[in-house]
């Protein structure tokens, strides 16, 4: 992987969950349990139906929240607060990743389909707080989630980011399609690669990947 492929990059965009911490942390196990409980209570359905709807809305709308808002007019703020009240006690600081991110030239941001307050909690637990110029959550995109192109446009326009000089790091392959179409360099961060035309690079070790760009 030639570092020259990133020589033009001055904007670095990082997803949060399963990107800035490893999937083995399994934070989403906790989040999904809280999502299911929220759906059960809000819609008055049993656990099996709530699990089905949670997954269906994620596949159809990009996030469970987007489906709840579109089909049931659910208030997003209480939902975001409740589902992200999880324990981060088993997350560990990653000094190698912190050093690699610090060394990147230019502007660095986090953009997640979760909430910005939750993202800041995770960054602190990982020893990555203070390294980013901005942290954006789904609320900053008007609750429009990735992978919808409008979500990226809202965030990037608000940030003043030039996609043709940017790179996107993301664990969900769906969420790299719009950045690719906008002219960004795309990096899939996951244990196994996903072959698609809109993915330029893959890594299962973000710290090592970023270090090799220096």
- Dihedral sign for Cα atoms in the order 162, 22, 16, 180: positive
**Residue 214: which pLDDT band, with cuts at 50, 70 and 90?**
confident
Mean per-residue pLDDT over the chain, rounded: 96
Q: How many CB atoms lie within 10 A of CB 74?
A: 18
- For 3-21+93-211, CATH gives 3.40.50.1000
CATH architecture assignment, domain 27-83: Orthogonal Bundle (1.10)
Please compute the mean of the pLDDT values over residues 159-184 and round it to a whole number.
Answer: 98
Predicted TM-score (pTM) of the model is 0.94
**Residue 1: which pLDDT band, with cuts at 50, 70 and 90?**
low
The tens digit of pLDDT for each residue in 140-170 reads: 999 999 999 999 999 999 999 999 999 999 9
Domain residue ranges of the chain, discontinuous segments joined by +: 3-21+93-211, 27-83
DSSP summary character for residue 90: T
pLDDT above 90: percentage of residues in the chain: 96
The tens digit of pLDDT for each residue in 189-198 reads: 999 999 999 9
Does the pLDDT at position 117 exceed 90? yes
DSSP summary character for residue 147: T
The token pair at 190 is 């996951």
**Nearest partner of 185 among 210, 159, 157, 158, judged by Cα:** 210
Please compute the mean of the pLDDT values over residues 87-105 and round it to a whole number.
Answer: 96
The tens digit of pLDDT for each residue in 28-66 reads: 899 999 999 999 999 999 999 999 999 999 899 989 999
Topology agreement, domain 3-21+93-211 and domain 27-83: no
The distance of Cα 12 from the centroid of its chain, to the nearest Å, equals: 13
């Amino acid at each position: 992987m030639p570092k020259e492929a990133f020589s033009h990059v001055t904007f670095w965009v990082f997803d949060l969950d399963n990107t800035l911490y490893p999937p083995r942390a399994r934070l989403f196990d906790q989040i999904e349990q809280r999502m299911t409980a929220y759906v059960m209570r809000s819609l008055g359905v049993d656990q099996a139906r709530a699990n089905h709807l949670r997954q269906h809305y994620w596949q159809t709308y990009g996030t469970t929240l987007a489906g709840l808002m579109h089909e049931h007019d659910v208030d997003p703020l209480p939902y975001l607060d409740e589902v992200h009240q999880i324990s981060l006690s088993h997350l560990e600081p990653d000094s190698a990743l912190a050093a690699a991110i610090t060394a990147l030239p230019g502007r660095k941001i986090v953009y997640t389909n979760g909430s910005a307050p939750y993202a800041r909690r995770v960054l602190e637990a990982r020893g990555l707080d203070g390294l980013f110029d901005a942290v954006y959550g789904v609320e900053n995109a008007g609750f429009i989630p990735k992978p919808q192109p409008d979500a990226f446009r809202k965030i990037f326009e608000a940030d003043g980011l030039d996609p043709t000089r940017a790179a996107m790091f993301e664990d969900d392959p769906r969420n790299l399609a719009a950045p690719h179409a906008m002219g960004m360099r795309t990096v899939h961060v996951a244990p196994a690669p996903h072959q698609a035309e809109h993915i330029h690079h893959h890594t299962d070790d973000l710290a090592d990947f970023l270090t090799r760009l220096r």
